Amino acid sequence: MPVLYYIRHGETDWNAEQRLQGHRDTPLNARGRRQASHCGGILRNLLERDGRTAADCSYVSSPLCRARQTMELVRTALDLDPNGYGVDNRLIEISFGDWEGLTLPEIAARDAEALAARERDKWGFTPPGGESYRDVTARVAAWYATVTRDTVVTAHGGVARALVAYFNILPHEEAVHADIVHGVVYVFAGGTMARYA
């Protein structure tokens, strides 16, 4: 099974405001750009530790600009062409539909019952106009089936949680609550996930 060096995109202003981003195309803020460059340094050390060079891996990003900006900063830190990577739409963040741009308190004020239903079954719950973690895991699994060599990925917290579920690292109902943070490189290998900060 190919190893994934997985990086959640750096922070955006909406992350700082705790707004659900989903498919909204929000850019990195200054802190997020620093986090992305920091991850490039972590990745360089991990590849050296594993006896690999940066050129030994494939590179793929979510299509959203926060993930692409992160990839370009990571590749710059690795002394690679910042634009020499692929994009796969199956790595886009979970869609929160009508809830995108809102904070959880704002959602609670609009539809407390739906938010409570999400808390009871975060794995299967679909926000209005959005998708469930079950849906995301199916598309991420379809993407992983095409991966043929060790790959550096820049994507999102929801996509990482889907991988945790897909690889059975945690049960589905726990995977959807996994803490996936900025400024960390996650290594998915052999059915485990390790984190490096």
Catalytic (active-site) positions = 9, 93
DSSP the chain: ---EEEEEPPPBHHHHTTB--TT--PPB-HHHHHHHHHHHHHHHHHHHHTT--GGGSEEEE-SSHHHHHHHHHHHHHTTS-TT--EE-GGGSPPP-GGGTT-BHHHHHHHHHHHHHHHHH-TTT---TTS--HHHHHHHHHHHHTT--S-EEEEE-HHHHHHHHHHTTSS-HHHHTT----TT-EEEEETTEEEEE-
